[in-house]
Amino acid sequence: MHNELVDLINKNVPGASATLNAAPDAKSDSTISVDANSIFKVVQFLRDNTTMPFNALQCISGVDYLDYMEVCYVLGHFDVNAPRDLILKVKVTDRVNGNLDSVVSVYPAANFQEREVFDMFGIRFNNHPDLRRILCPDDWQGWPLRKDYVAQKYYADMEVYPDGKMNFEDREFIVRQDMIKKAQLAAAKN
Amino acid sequence: MQSRWDIGEPEAPTINKETEQLKSELLTLNMGPQHPATHGVLRIEIWTDSEIVAHAIPHLGYLHRCMEKHSENMDYRGVIPYVDRLDYLAAMNMEWGYVMAVEKMLGTEVPRRAELLRIVTAELQRIASHLMAFGTYAIDLGAFSPFLYAFDMREKILRIFEEVSGARLLYNYIWIGGLWNDYTDDQITRVSAFCDEMLVEAQKYHELLSMNKIFIERTANVGVFSLQDCFDYGATGPILRGSGYKWDLRKNKPYSLYSEFDFDVPVGTGEIGQPGDCWNRYIVRMREVVESVKIIRQAIAKLEPGSVMGKVPKIIKLPKGEVYVRSECPRGELGIHLVSQGESKVPYRLKVKSPCFTHVSMLPRVAPGQMIADFVATVGSIDIVLGEVDR
């Protein structure tokens, strides 16, 4: 199914440069990567085509791989005869001004989902009707689900992140701990 | 960043000398964060034109507990109690969804008895969750007594769960590879007895509420989600089925052993009101209770003695890759997007696609033009649990 979809996307959406990330075994899912600039056209094409349509957007999820960030669009086809799922990925390399085209006009479901990705990863969505934080307060600082995130110490005069509250040595993910140390050193220098 | 008020003011009415006396403006009203109809801490900012809702803007995040961030710091087993707390009214189903994702990446074989008992547990939990939905929905609409009947029956399920898992609400019972504890024969008998009792009670509920004239007046033809809206917004579960679309993962994309079971998928047919309105969503839930009883009875008949725990390594390390696993929860489809980078005992990323989050985003679509009281009925009918909306 994924091979056909890659051909279909490449044939119909110029510049999409879709590639298949095939899963080595049944333990993981195959995904399709497309070019970040063409995401709107690809999603629109996937909804409107007649060969392999997808009638619903299930969720949008972000992943931070340190070198780049990835946004995964999970599409689904709610059809009794041919149910299918697709994980469609785009890469965002700019950690400061990373932005993507919003797909709200294709799937209204993307409205809240894109707001959540913006809230958690700081990726902006162009042409989004109402892009603001959704789970964190509006004046929260930083992008919480990035791996190099350090929580702010005070929020609205409350100490929300006191020293020694978290037991970092025991359980903290090691890569992230390094990132946090680097970030703290950089902050101390400035 | 944009301020929260920068959402586009509605056009101010033109004022001239003749109409100056008649000028009107929209009244902003906060429903929540503490409001009985929101079943938790959800704030809906509604802009009303007298009794009519003009805009509804949900504000989420009051129950945000950073669950996705926490789970990046915990081993795969340690995440299970956190997943419990997402949907605290259907914790078993949440656990099962997460555990299935880990098991898929691990390639674990779950013993047959464990799978069957998981089905029994998950369906019991579905009944408990739908009973809660039934009771609280009646309270939203001003009927108090159905709530007492619903809690009476729900209590029986919680008693069984307490004996089996040791906890009443947040169980940590479905473990990676199987179950924490086996059901004893006595407990299985009690589950069967509960099933018989539930069928009688379900009939009583229909007489008490479903066919009640006042209830029908309040819910039929109110808050209609068209089928197109459901697909556009990605609605699942009783919302999608209430709109008349026969879609149930247990039937259409069966996971676990559901393909062996014989049950119907109730949909909103519009015998009262029209498909997609509050009454049809409600009746889908009530009919699902009966279907769940069917599934439990079949699962109990299939039970054979055996182990309830498969072979799982002591330290779980998943191979590099990612999965998106869906499962049918009482409120809709739960999706778990799990990413592993290999050689690590913690998830690299765990994204939970919660059904209610999607359904809350539909509220601004249906609210304009409704009366405030009808809007309360609509919010109640999507059966929100804020734990999973805010995560």
Domains and CATH numbers, chain A: 2-134 (3.30.460.80), 147-190 (no CATH)
Asked whether residue A168 carries a pLDDT value surpassing 70, the answer given is no
Min CA distance, B39 vs chain A (Å)? Answer: 18
**pLDDT tens profile B149-199:** 999 999 999 999 999 988 888 888 999 988 988 888 899 999 999 999 999
CA dist., res. B120 & res. A13, Å (int): 47
Q: Taking Cα atoms as reference points, which of B231, B321, B238 lies closest to residue B281?
A: B238
- Do A132 and B4 make contact, defined as CB atoms within 8 angstroms? yes
Asked whether residue B127 carries a pLDDT value surpassing 90, the answer given is yes
- Among B2-11, B29-38, B66-75, B217-226, where is mean pLDDT lowest? B2-11
**pLDDT tens profile B302-339:** 888 888 888 888 888 888 888 999 999 999 899 999 99
Query: Is the CB of A137 inside 8 Å of chain B's CB atoms?
Result: yes
**Chain B: residue nearest A137 by CA?**
B61
CA dist., res. B294 & res. B124, Å (int): 11
**pLDDT tens profile B333-367:** 999 999 988 777 888 889 999 899 999 988 888 88
Contact B156, B332 (CB under 8 A): no
Interface mutation vs chain A, best among B232, B258, B325, most A CBs within 10 Å: B232
Q: Give the Å distances, CA to CA, from B356 to A93, B87, B138, B314, B361.
A: 31, 10, 19, 35, 9
Mean pLDDT of chain A: 83
pLDDT band at B116; cut points 50, 70, 90: very high
Residue B273 is predicted with a pLDDT of 83
Residue A60 is predicted with a pLDDT of 92
Query: Is the CB of B259 inside 8 Å of chain A's CB atoms?
Result: no
Asked whether residue B1 carries a pLDDT value surpassing 50, the answer given is no
Residue B69 is predicted with a pLDDT of 85
Asked whether residue A123 carries a pLDDT value surpassing 80, the answer given is yes
Q: Which two tokens stand for residue A132?
A: 């603001």
Q: Which of A72, A85, A172 sits opposite B73 (nearest CB)?
A: A172
Asked whether residue B4 carries a pLDDT value surpassing 60, the answer given is no
Query: Is the CB of B231 inside 8 Å of chain A's CB atoms?
Result: yes
Asked whether residue A148 carries a pLDDT value surpassing 80, the answer given is no
Mean pLDDT of chain B: 86
Residue A165 is predicted with a pLDDT of 62
Q: Which of A25, A74, A130 sits opposite B337 (nearest CB)?
A: A74
Q: Which of A83, A107, A108 sits opposite B253 (nearest CB)?
A: A83
Could you say which residues from 21 to 60 on chain A have a Cβ atom under 8 Å away from some Cβ of chain B? 23-29, 31, 55-59
Phi, psi torsion values for B327, nearest 5 degrees: -145, 155
- Do B361 and A111 make contact, defined as CB atoms within 8 angstroms? yes
Is B369 exposed, middle or buried, given 0-12, 13-18 or 19+ CB atoms closer than 10 A? exposed
Report chain B residues whose CB lies below 8 A from the CB of A23. 321
Contact A120, B391 (CB under 8 A): no
Establish whether this prediction's ipTM goes over 0.90: no
Residue B11 is predicted with a pLDDT of 64
Residue B295 is predicted with a pLDDT of 92
Look at A152 and B147; give whichever has higher pLDDT. B147
Bridge pairing between strands B43-49 and B27-31:
antiparallel
Residue B142 is predicted with a pLDDT of 84
Q: Where are the domains of chain B?
A: 75-314
CA dist., res. B4 & res. A139, Å (int): 10
**pLDDT tens profile A72-99:** 999 988 888 888 888 999 998 888 888 8
- Do A80 and B247 make contact, defined as CB atoms within 8 angstroms? yes
Could you say which residues from 110 to 149 on chain B have a Cβ atom under 8 Å away from some Cβ of chain A? none
CA dist., res. A108 & res. A57, Å (int): 9
**pLDDT tens profile B258-273:** 888 999 999 888 888 8
Residue ranges with strand state E in B197-285 = none
- Do A85 and B69 make contact, defined as CB atoms within 8 angstroms? no
pLDDT band at B22; cut points 50, 70, 90: low
- Among A21-30, B7-16, B104-113, B191-200, where is mean pLDDT lowest? B7-16
Q: Taking Cα atoms as reference points, which of A78, A65, A89 lies closest to residue A9?
A: A89
- Do A109 and B361 make contact, defined as CB atoms within 8 angstroms? yes
Q: Which two tokens stand for residue B75?
A: 């081993």
List helix spans (H) across chain A: 2-12, 39-48, 110-121, 168-171, 174-189
Q: Which two tokens stand for residue B377?
A: 């009925």
Query: Is the CB of B45 inside 8 Å of chain A's CB atoms?
Result: no
Report chain A residues whose CB lies below 8 A from the CB of B360. 112
Residue A183 is predicted with a pLDDT of 67
**Chain A: residue nearest B65 by CA?**
A135
Asked whether residue A33 carries a pLDDT value surpassing 60, the answer given is yes
**b/e burial code for range B286-324 (CB count within 10 A of at least 16 → b):** bbbbbbbbbbbbbbbeeeeeeebbbebeeebebeebbbb
Give the homologous superfamily in CATH for domain B75-314. Answer: Cytochrome-c3 Hydrogenase, chain B (1.10.645.10)
